[in-house]
Amino acid sequence: MQLANEPEPIIAPAPLVEPAAPIAVEPQTELTPAAAEAPTSGETVAPIPEASSPLVRAAYVLIFLLTVLASYTVWPQAGGQGHLDLMPWYWKLFPPFAFSYAVVRASIAAGSAARAWNRQAITWFLAAIACASLIGGLTYYYHLTESQDQVDSDDGIMTSVQAPDRQPHA
């Protein structure tokens, strides 16, 4: 017997499809950093070549050699060969090689993850910028401390020009 204030019970219809059998779930494995950064918006990501591949290693060696060549080509042009002549050999050797190493490591970090601008790639990019700044700072330092060996032949001679007296026209 139902009371007047009590709502009528709702009976759900029977399902039209039989329930599926339970699915066996394998334990989840730990995600690698590359898998953790994979895009989730349905984008497809190109497969990343293995870093141990001989072709990839040859590409990294080529990047290193090109950046060393570019460093030693641009530095005398931008900073002046005279300033480089004043520097000791170790300042001319180590900063360009450190710059090239940082560029290659940034390339490796960018190519080994799903996203190119990841934390490791940005860190190595900033290291390359720091090496380039060191190169510029060294050049500027040797520019400021360069001795002035130019001898002026006019030392001690004073030159003056005096305008002739002009007579007014009558």
List, for residues 25-83, the tens digit of each pLDDT value: 555 555 555 555 555 555 555 555 566 688 989 999 999 999 999 999 998 888 888 88
130: buried, middle or exposed (CB in 10 Å: 19+, 13-18, 0-12)? middle
Report if residue 159 sits inside a domain: no
Q: What is the pLDDT of residue 78?
A: 87
Report if residue 115 sits inside a domain: yes
Q: What is the pLDDT of residue 121?
A: 94
C-alpha span between 77 and 47 (Å, rounded): 41
Report if residue 38 sits inside a domain: no
Percent above pLDDT 90 for the chain: 36
Report if residue 119 sits inside a domain: yes
Contacts of 75 (CB under 8 A, 6+ apart): 84, 96, 135, 139
Torsion angle in degrees (nearest 10) through CA of 37, 43, 45, 46: -170
Report if residue 36 sits inside a domain: no
Report if residue 23 sits inside a domain: no
C-alpha span between 131 and 136 (Å, rounded): 9
Domain range for residue 125?
Answer: 50-144
C-alpha span between 37 and 48 (Å, rounded): 13
Report if residue 160 sits inside a domain: no
Report if residue 30 sits inside a domain: no
Residue 122 vs residue 14, higher pLDDT: 122
The total of structural domains in the chain comes to 1
Q: What is the pLDDT of residue 104?
A: 95
